[in-house]
Structure 1
Amino acid sequence: MDARRLLIFREVARAGSISAAARALGWTQPAVSQHLRALERSVGAALLLRGAGGVELTEPGRVLLARADAVAAQLHMATEEMAELTALRRGRVRLAAYPSAAATLVPAVLARLRTAHPDIDVELTEAEPPEALALLAAGDVDVALTFSYGPEPETAPGQRRLPLGEEPVLLVLPEEHPFVASTDTDGTIGTDGTGETEGTDGSGGTAAPGPGLARLAEEDWVVGCERCRAHTLQRCDEAGFRPRVRHVSDDYVVVQNLVALGLGVTLLPRSALAAYRHPRVRTLPGYGSRRLAAVLRDGADSVPATASLLRELVRLA
């Protein structure tokens, strides 16, 4: 099978039409069509259904596209390795990160990389963990920053997970909420921006469970992404009630504004409060934690630029 034709097929499948792929490749449409026909002859099956609105993958086409994505990712890693070996001393890493990491951990990592390795170019895409892992599987990014609650999730074949630690989940309430007044903690975020509060062990875990959520059973709740929402529901279920979800937003600035105005209470990971802290909210520790990880393709850390990024992620996470 001709690898060049495989990559042309990948471009067509991703572009959705032969004409769009031809423009992206800088080729003529007949030239692209000719390579596609040759590839179909070599595999002995139709890969695309052609129509007025573009192309649609056949079942063999969908199977081959997954392999084409893997080939593209491996070629990218080879390009980076050869660049280093031939003393070009440049590297490019494509990173996908969930919003709170993109606002806190990633800028710190990029600043250190710029100082230590000014010729490494990191391209950042903000994406929630499922989307980041899909980009990694498609070969569109080299590293996916993810988080999870509870047991560590399974890693797809051909990928590996690099644990980066845990961070505590905090209960966030309006400043004058009676639940805060009835506790011993001062509910403040540490001056170093880490969000450490009394009741955490300083390593991302929690030293002791927070005050019982059952007293908040009649409150309105604000929840975020699917994974964070599931964690909130689980904690409330453990406290013996189903929360009345009134507002849903993935934006932790929006969530904190809603809480500050007394429109609900919520659970947020520490990094969300380190990225932005509304002055009229209070926090309490002890409501679980979430695991942070970098996911990459097997062998990706042999690329010097990617290895440098991973070292800084481990150091700063």
Structure 2
Amino acid sequence: MDPRRLLIFDTVVKNHSIGAAARELGWTQPAVSQHLSALEKETGMQLLLRSSGGVTPTEAGTRLAVHAAQIAKTMKAATTEMEDIVALKKGRVRFTTFPSAAAVLLPPTLAEMTERHPGIALSFNEMEPPEAIAGIAANTIDVAMIFRYPDTKLDDEGRLEWTPILEDQVRLVLPKDHPLAQKEHLSLSDFAEDEWIAGCERCSANLMCAADAAGFTPRVRYSTDDSTVVQRLITHGTGIALMSDVSLESAPNHDVVVRTVDGVPSRTIGIVNRPGAMKIPAISEFAGILCHQAAHHGSAISPCSGPASPLT
């Protein structure tokens, strides 16, 4: 049976009148009558008894009216729920990002999203970019904020969308008593003889690439992706490191010297999602708030104003 005809039938039964039902539906009376005739043909039974005083359901019509009312109720509930999703009264956003971005950008984003749209269910799990990409691809994460260096490739198949939002400058971090801490102009090659503290796999690769371009291989003594630990090691004179602005902001330390060095590429922070995800109201709203918060840090890249591109 055509569910549309059942909804029309439900309206007629509740109004006890084809004319009244037609007015409620915004249809003509002949159009409603045609659908009722088609429904009776579908069921093979007389469903309504017509008289000058209106219509009365037959036994079969009474039984069918029960089911029609249930369908009408379900359709109304479905319509209301869809309207609530569009109006951001309901929805879900499963988010992930890497530790330093979580410390700097996540708290204000969650607070603003919750204040604006308390009915949206938010969840967060901290992940490094490769795990975040896998979560997006597996549909266990809706939106991820990741970082990438110029040569980073995280999704060779181009299955996901990438929207850059922030240039995160990478700086050289030294102990205050380093001989070159106050030198006016620095290049990475000045530190070829120093011992280094490396970060995560992608950050370590960036260090190696930059050092190679500067003509040396860094002597990596320690490896940790904890921004606080890196700076504590530096203050105790155990090495030097490259750290991004967001990483430095996530763990402020006034006992180190932060310098800009030629030849060190910045990294880009951006949003990754499945194609079409930004058409989902809750996800789009969350991403917009995240971009707005990111604009207060580093060099914003016209936050979320341009179209997303395939992640390659």
- On the 8 A contact 1:260/1:278 being kept in 2, the answer is no
Asked whether 1:241 is paired with 2:216, we answer: yes
Distance 1:265 1:243 in 2: 10
Question: How much is the aligned-residue C-alpha RMSD, in angstroms?
Answer: 2.1
Shift in CA distance, 181/168, structure 1 to aligned 2, threshold 3 Å: same
Deviations 1:176-198 (A, max 9, x none): 21211222xxxxxxxxxxxxxxx
Match for 1:92: what amino acid? R
Match for 1:231: what amino acid? N
Which SS does the other structure have where 1:181 is aligned? coil
Distance 2:285 2:112 in 1: 10
1:224 pairs with one of 189, 199, 224: 199
Corresponding residue for residue 131 of structure 2:
131
Deviations 1:126-175 (A, max 9, x none): 11000000111111110111111115747544421111121100100001
TM-score computed with the length of structure 1 as normaliser: 0.63
Corresponding residue for residue 315 of structure 1:
292
Distance 2:194 2:236 in 1: 13
Distance 2:123 2:106 in 1: 11
User: Which stretch shifts more, 172-181 or 107-116?
Assistant: 107-116
Deviations 1:76-105 (A, max 9, x none): xx9xx8373487812220011011111111
- On the 8 A contact 1:142/1:296 being kept in 2, the answer is yes
Corresponding residue for residue 268 of structure 2:
291
Corresponding residue for residue 278 of structure 1:
253
Distance 2:223 2:290 in 1: 30
- On the 8 A contact 1:224/1:248 being kept in 2, the answer is yes
Deviations 1:51-77 (A, max 9, x none): xxxxxxxxxxxxxxxxxxxxxxxxxxx
Corresponding residue for residue 46 of structure 2:
none
Which SS does the other structure have where 2:167 is aligned? strand
Distance 1:211 1:87 in 2: 53
Which SS does the other structure have where 2:180 is aligned? helix
2:226 pairs with one of 227, 232, 251: 251
Which SS does the other structure have where 2:186 is aligned? coil
Distance 1:161 1:260 in 2: 37
Distance 2:152 2:166 in 1: 11
Distance 1:258 1:117 in 2: 42
Count residues with an aligned counterpart.
Answer: 212
1:303 pairs with one of 280, 288, 307: 280
TM-score computed with the length of structure 2 as normaliser: 0.64
Spell out the pairing of 1:58-69 with structure 2 (5 A cutoff): none
- On the 8 A contact 1:164/1:313 being kept in 2, the answer is no
Shift in CA distance, 83/252, structure 1 to aligned 2, threshold 3 Å: farther
**Percent identity of equivalent pairs:** 39
Shift in CA distance, 172/154, structure 1 to aligned 2, threshold 3 Å: closer
Corresponding residue for residue 179 of structure 2:
178
Shift in CA distance, 298/258, structure 1 to aligned 2, threshold 3 Å: same
Distance 2:133 2:205 in 1: 19
The structure number with the bigger radius of gyration is: 2
Shift in CA distance, 85/292, structure 1 to aligned 2, threshold 3 Å: closer
User: Which stretch shifts more, 148-157 or 122-131?
Assistant: 148-157
Distance 1:243 1:151 in 2: 19
Match for 1:292: what amino acid? I
Asked whether 1:164 is paired with 2:165, we answer: yes
Which SS does the other structure have where 2:170 is aligned? strand
Distance 1:86 1:168 in 2: 37
Asked whether 1:260 is paired with 2:235, we answer: yes
- On the 8 A contact 1:83/1:91 being kept in 2, the answer is no
How far off is 1:266 after superposition? 0.2
Corresponding residue for residue 75 of structure 1:
none
Distance 1:260 1:242 in 2: 23
Distance 1:263 1:226 in 2: 20
Shift in CA distance, 288/119, structure 1 to aligned 2, threshold 3 Å: same
